[in-house]
Amino acid sequence: MKQRLALLGLVVFALLACKKFEEEKEQKSLDQYRSNFIKGCIKGDDTDSPFPSAEKNRICGCIADAYMKGKRFDDLVAEEEADASSSFVKPAVEACKFVAKGRAWAVRVPPPKPLELYTAETKIPQADPGSEELNDAIDLRESKQFDLAEAAFKTLVAASPKDAEFAFQHYVNLSFMGRTDEALDALESAYKLGFNEYPTIRYIFLPGAVAFSTRYEKTLAGLRDRYNTTPPPIGTPYAFIPKGKPPKNGFPVLVVLHAYASNHGNWVEFSKDWKKRGVVVIALPGSLPLGKNRLCWHVGTFEATHDAIQAALKSDLVSNVIDPKRVIVVGYGQGAQHAVGVVTEHSEAYSAVFAIAPGGPPEPLGDKLALETPAKPRMVVVTGSEAESAPRSYRFQRLAAGAGWPVVLLEQPGKDSFPEEYPQNGVAIMDYLLGKAESIKGSPKLKPVTPSAAP
């Protein structure tokens, strides 16, 4: 009996020793694979997706661990032999990139100011358009002439080393070029110089390889805290109210929303014109200030814009003189995006929407294939045939028409999207939006496009 137990013990010992040997062999193979993976990642990084030089080991180690997680050595070899490893590496790469998400990284919307009456003494500071040289450099970047843009940005930064906006725009260009270390240097410089446009870096210029760096995360956190604690000054909404007694049901209302990095001062002449025509116009400032009298609308939601509109409509200044059943939201650029967004999400609260050259974040209709709303407001969309807004405008029209909305898409030749021969076209468009006409009879250049004919 003792001999059998001793023999059994030897067998168990041998099995355990064999298992331990196999485990050690497996671990050595995995360690060697990880080491080779990291070496290949660092070496190949120079031509593929450049990581910050000081953090290459950490980043490549993170990617290796994410890729190898839960896999045996034989599994990894089999993936390579099947040429399937690349499809698994990509998610591992993304897993190691910093992504700002959740409430911790949200943009704080400053409390809006109350609606005020626009008078002859009112002055709305114009948004700073930026220097001609800066805009030229940005145009080069947007046309993907990064090398020429880089030379222009370097000249600007050298001439004005304390200008935070120059430093930030230089960061954007360097980031697009994949020059990660230099991009991070430029971003940190912009932050130290007082750059305070957190909404812009958070939502507009999304990071490339810089997002792998802890330097980017740290700087972004600093920009977030600075903006959410001490944002730039916000704008004051103004009401343009016609003289005389309002109609029985009240004056119709136009709520105007400006473009990104602009402000409602651009709508003053438009608002005065429609005030003379018996329409209350509410010129709203964007909910997020960017500094230099530039404002934008929230780039993650339409609710802040809807809330601002409703607060203005309920103001004692206008609530007793307007017709709540005739509220038209008009917007240009990002303002047009928000006009479409608030009207489609709260269709029962608005009678019509007029979107001129819609563009910028967020996307009002997302990836919807159909538009289902409680009410069906009238919609007019204007775009240039070669404008960046054209594809989006066609899509808005198709979705609205498919849902039974009364919708007109107006297209004019070229890239310009603002209705030509204004106010002739403006009056025709507004008559349609107010329900005074069932079609738009405007300039021959401004042609209605049917949904079936849209590209």
Q: Do domains 121-229 and 238-449 have the same CATH topology?
A: no
Q: What is the dihedral of CA 238, 243, 246, 250, to 10 degrees?
A: -20
What pLDDT is attached to residue 309? 98
Q: Which CATH architecture has domain 121-229?
A: Alpha Horseshoe (1.25)
| pTM, 2 dp | 0.85
What pLDDT is attached to residue 372? 82
Q: What is the pLDDT of residues 33-73, one digit of tens each?
A: 899 888 888 876 445 557 888 898 999 999 999 988 988 88
Q: What is the pLDDT of residues 396-443, one digit of tens each?
A: 999 899 889 999 998 888 876 666 655 567 888 899 999 998 888 766
Q: Token digits for 21?
A: 């040997």
What pLDDT is attached to residue 80? 79
Flag whether pLDDT at 448 surpasses 80.
Answer: no
Question: Which CATH superfamily, name and number, covers 238-449?
Answer: Alpha/Beta hydrolase fold, catalytic domain (3.40.50.1820)
Beta bridge partners of 189: none
Ordered by start, the domain boundaries in the chain are 17-95, 121-229, 238-449
Q: What is the pLDDT of residues 223-250, one digit of tens each?
A: 999 999 999 999 999 999 999 999 999 9
pLDDT band at 83 (very low <50, low <70, confident <90, very high): low
Q: How far is CA 44 from CA 48, 60, 211, in A?
A: 6, 11, 18
Q: What is the pLDDT of residues 371-399, one digit of tens each?
A: 788 999 999 999 988 888 889 999 999 98
- Cα angle 310, 313, 317 (rounded to 5 degrees) comes to 140
Q: What is the pLDDT of residues 92-132, one digit of tens each?
A: 889 999 999 999 999 999 989 999 999 999 999 999 988 99
Q: How far is CA 29 from CA 24, 25, 72, 76, 152, in A?
A: 9, 6, 9, 11, 51
Percent of the chain whose pLDDT exceeds 70: 87
C-alpha 271/C-alpha 192 separation (Å) is: 40
pLDDT band at 143 (very low <50, low <70, confident <90, very high): very high
Comparing C-alpha atoms, which of 57, 11, 7 is closest to residue 35? 57
Compute the average pLDDT of residues 198-221: 94
C-alpha 411/C-alpha 146 separation (Å) is: 32
